[in-house]
Amino acid sequence: MGLTHPRDLDAWRAWQARHEPWPRRLRRMWGGRLVRRPTPAPVLTLTPGAAGAPVLVVLDSRTPTSRMALLDPVRHLATSPAVLEVGGTGRVVEPGALGADPDLDSVRVVVALGSYLPAGAAGQAFARSRGLPFVVVQHGLLTPHMAPLPSAAHLLAWSDADAAFWSEGRPDVVTTTVGSQLLWQARRGPSRTAAPGAAPVFLGQLHAAELGRREITRASVSFCRRHGADYRPHPAERDKLSRLQHAWWQRRGIHVSHDDTPVSGIAAPVVSIFSTGVLEAAAHGLPAWTWFPDPPPWLSEFWHRYDLRHWGGPPTPAPAVPDLEPAAAVAAYLEELS
């Protein structure tokens, strides 16, 4: 089982639009009708002093996983890279003008998380205009609904299984396994143990489009009620609808925790449907499981690919990580291409 849209980015974007979370749809409701309002173009910025850099790092966000995948390798590079990002503090640039930007004449390789977001799309277009390699670094777990890889991409994957999954049917893609910086750091961090009698922590995923909000709600509520778990909202669950849903659950006896402690600081069993946090918790030594009654085939395959264990049996084993820090492996790959 591979990607739902292995090549067609437009088809993937259409799927995304059809499965847009309800909170976003409600924000666009006006007079009882769903109206389409033009989305303002994102502001792209280029770091000062980009001239002379052989590597262009492309950032669509500075989430923890994005920073680990793209910025942690920077400290291993011999020369500072240029950074193209959304809403940064550097010089504002037009995406269509990057190919003629003299400050980027020294760039020999472009690296991003993909080409499905604005900065990544601009970075890929720039790489294509200059005939440069475009490197994609995996930053999270992969479902069949992941965006397709760009044409002729160089994929740096977490595992051989992920490399095969994301690039299935794509002979134009070059793959190399480097490991996960997130999990590598977790395995080398301090081990955690669950406090005796601690209630499980259920990591929320109401924002996920892969299963639908109703199905995710049903699974989350059933687990929390049955096992007395604390529900921990995902950072994306800050919209009004999600907050109302959390408040309703609390009135029905489900404890909703708003503790911002990272997974590395949790001292309880961790459970979720398909969150990366389950694997991260296992890497820290915590007992961790998945939960979803009657999973669809793709979810069962997903659990199998990452060796995620379902609640009721032995916990998920700590994931294997390479001896070489993945950030160093990414940096070495970029320097080889540049």
Between CA 324 and CA 330, with CA 328 as vertex, the angle to 5 degrees is 110
pLDDT band at 230 (very low <50, low <70, confident <90, very high): very high
Q: How does pLDDT run across 49-60, given as a tens digit for each residue?
A: 778 999 999 999
Mean pLDDT of the 28-46 span: 66
Higher pLDDT: 17 or 266? It is 266
Query: Can you give the pLDDT at residue 89?
Result: 87
**How many whole angstroms separate alpha carbon 25 and alpha carbon 272?**
25
Q: pLDDT digits over 101-110, tens only?
A: 999 999 999 9
Q: How confident is the model at residue 29 (pLDDT cuts 50, 70, 90)?
A: very low
Q: How confident is the model at residue 190 (pLDDT cuts 50, 70, 90)?
A: confident
Say what the pLDDT of residue 31 is: 46
| CA distances, 153 to each of 115, 118, 150, 287, 323 (Å) | 10, 17, 5, 37, 25
Average model confidence (pLDDT) across the chain: 91
Which one has a higher pLDDT value, 40 or 179? 179
Mean of pLDDT values over 208-223: 91
DSSP, residue by residue, 53-86: -SEEEEES---HHHIIIIIGGGGG-SSPPEEEEE
Q: What is the pLDDT of residues 65-76, one digit of tens each?
A: 999 999 999 999
What is the rounded distance in angstroms from the CA atom of residue 285 to the CA atom of residue 228? 22
Both tokens assigned to 256: 């909703």
Model's pTM, two decimal places?
0.92
Q: Which residue has the higher pLDDT, 82 or 34?
A: 82
Task: Please give the backbone phi and psi of residue 203, each rounded to the nearest 5 degrees, phi first.
Answer: -80, 120
pLDDT grade for 228, boundaries at 50, 70 and 90 = very high
| pLDDT tens-digit series, residues 297-316 | 999 999 999 999 999 999 99
The residues, ordered by sequence, that sit 6+ positions from 61 with a Cβ below 8 Å of its Cβ are: 86, 117
For 292, 304, 308, 311, the CA distances from 314, given in Å and listed in that order, are 16, 14, 10, 8
- At residue 30 the predicted structure's pLDDT band, cuts being 50, 70 and 90, is very low
In percent, how much of the chain has pLDDT > 70? 94
